[in-house]
């Protein structure tokens, strides 16, 4: 019975999306208020119902599509903004068709979604984004002011209007930082950060910024910004002087490392090569699609770091790590696991094996090297 309901839901959703697509292609600089409101209602409805039908990724795409509408006037819309929205529409259609045809394209779609977020435009000016943040606040004026300041820095800003909505996004999407008001209904800002820390979510390394007018001290908070008329300016200074500077990777600060990356997915190899392209003089990268070849090469050359995909046919990353320790027990193997799993049980299981860190898929190619180096540097202390 559920299969039938899911099938019907996909058909109805596809019809709704194609209707939106038709409206967007007819727009010539002006977005009629009635059409704008209709599109927003449909996207919001799909976002809210997708998870109930076990289509969580569809909900995530609609979350990001909804974010795109924040910067659009109800009267005017640029051709670049229309193009950007149509890309999300195409991604939704691709997801629906993959489900209807029972084809497994989840990783491809997740990567396309990340690429869209990286290349997303704000107001028609192409602006590359290398940092994404989730802002959680109930005040429309605060959201608008914060969005303006951070977007001008090239930051990709997403929104949630409640702690409950934010938690849903944080468990499914990756962000580099999270800005949350303490005064949220149901789940307060400090509670939100505590939950993310306890469940070992994929945002466990995201910078956490609390907006509050109270004197709060909490180990789950990285920065506190006092609420007031200068809140947006204070956030801009924090990102300019601290957070964005820490995101940058200086070639001079990188140690010379020999790195083995073992993953059977050659499509992932392409992304990894893109990520490491600018650091060839410091990072000697070897890629292996066969875990047996990767194991033998690692035993022979003992690289400074081995990155292992957890799920591989014939021999997975866990087994490779175990064999490394069995065959060369005197070597201090430094291993980072790559996993698509977000469950607490899986993460805890991997951490019990004593890797130096874990990186979850899908990852952003532009941030992969920074993640690896941060984990590696912490392992030396």
Q: Is the Cβ–Cβ distance between 336 and 305 less than 8 Å?
A: yes
What's the CATH code, domain 251-378?
Answer: 3.40.50.2300
Which of these, 126, 120, 59, lies nearest to 86 by C-alpha position?
A: 120
The burial class, CB within 10 Å (0-12 / 13-18 / 19+), for 38 is middle
- Rounded-to-integer distance, Cα 117 and Cα 132, Å: 8
Q: What is the DSSP string of 219-283?
A: TT-SEEEE-STTHHHHHHHHIIIIIHHHH---GGGPPPEEEEEE-S-HHHHHHHHHHHGGGTTTE
Closest CA to 165 of 55, 48, 248: 48
Handedness of CA 255, 257, 262, 268 (dihedral sign): positive
Question: What is the reported pLDDT for 291?
Answer: 95
By the 8 A CB rule, do 91 and 113 touch?
yes
User: Which residues, other chains included, contact 47 with Cβ-Cβ below 8 Å and sequence gap of 6+?
Assistant: 59, 62, 63, 66
HSE-up of residue 285 (Cα within 13 Å, Cβ side): 21
Q: What is the pLDDT of residue 124?
A: 39
Enter the pTM of the model.
0.54
Do the domains at 1-126 and 129-248 have one common CATH topology?
Answer: no
Cβ atoms of 196 and 170 within 8 Å: the answer is yes
pLDDT value of residue 324? 95
Superfamily of domain 1-126: HPT domain (1.20.120.160)
Q: Where are the domains of the chain?
A: 1-126, 129-248, 251-378
177 burial via Cβ count (<10 Å: 0-12, 13-18, 19+): buried
pLDDT of 129 reads 46
Give the span between the Cα atoms of 358 and 66, in whole angstroms.
31
Rounded distance between C-alpha atoms, residue 107 and residue 264, angstroms:
14
DSSP letter at 208?
E
Instruction: Please name the residue ranges forming H helices in the chain.
Output: 2-26, 33-50, 56-68, 79-100, 106-119, 140-151, 163-170, 189-198, 231-238, 244-247, 266-276, 291-301, 317-327, 344-351, 365-378
Superfamily per CATH, domain 129-248: Response regulator (3.40.50.2300)
> Alpha carbon of 348 to those of 55, 160, 345, 354, 358: distances in Å?
26, 28, 5, 10, 10
- Average pLDDT, consecutive stretches of 10 residues, N- to C-terminus, the chain (381 residues): 82 90 78 81 85 84 80 68 86 89 78 69 43 86 82 84 85 85 87 78 79 82 88 90 70 82 88 85 93 96 95 92 94 91 78 89 75 82 57
């Amino acid at each position: 019975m559920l299969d039938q309901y899911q099938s019907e839901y996909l058909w109805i959703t596809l019809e709704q999306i194609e209707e939106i697509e038709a409206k967007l292609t007819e727009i010539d600089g002006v977005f009629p208020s009635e059409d704008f409101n209709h599109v927003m209602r449909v996207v919001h409805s799909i976002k809210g119902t997708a998870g109930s039908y076990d289509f969580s990724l569809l909900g995530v795409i609609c979350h990001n599509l909804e974010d795109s509408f924040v910067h659009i006037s109800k009267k005017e819309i640029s051709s670049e903004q229309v193009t950007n929205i149509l890309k999300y529409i195409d991604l939704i259609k691709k997801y629906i068709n993959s489900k209807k045809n029972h084809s497994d394209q989840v990783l491809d779609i997740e990567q396309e979604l990340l690429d869209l977020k990286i290349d997303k435009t704000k107001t028609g000016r192409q602006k590359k984004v290398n940092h994404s943040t989730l802002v959680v606040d109930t005040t429309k004026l605060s959201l608008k002011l914060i969005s303006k300041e951070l977007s001008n820095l090239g930051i990709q800003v997403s929104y949630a209007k409640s702690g409950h909505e934010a938690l849903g996004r944080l468990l499914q999407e990756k962000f580099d930082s999270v800005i949350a008001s303490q005064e949220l209904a149901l789940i307060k800002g400090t509670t939100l950060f505590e939950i993310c820390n306890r469940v070992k979510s994929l945002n466990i390394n995201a910078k956490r910024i609390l907006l509050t007018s109270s004197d709060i001290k909490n180990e789950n908070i990285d920065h506190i910004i006092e609420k007031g008329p200068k809140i947006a300016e204070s956030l801009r200074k924090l990102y300019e002087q601290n957070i964005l500077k820490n995101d940058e990777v200086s070639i001079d600060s990188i140690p010379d490392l020999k790195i083995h990356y073992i993953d059977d997915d050659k499509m992932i190899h392409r992304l990894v090569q893109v990520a490491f392209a600018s650091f060839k003089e410091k990072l000697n990268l070897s890629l292996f699609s066969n875990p047996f070849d990767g194991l033998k090469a690692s035993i022979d050359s003992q690289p400074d770091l081995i990155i292992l995909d957890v799920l591989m046919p014939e021999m997975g990353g866990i087994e490779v790590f175990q064999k490394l320790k069995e065959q060369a027990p005197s070597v201090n193997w430094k291993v980072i696991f790559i996993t698509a799993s977000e469950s607490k049980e899986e993460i805890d299981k991997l951490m019990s094996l004593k890797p130096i860190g874990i990186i979850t898929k899908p990852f952003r190619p532009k941030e992969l090297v920074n993640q690896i180096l941060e984990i590696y540097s912490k392992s030396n202390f």
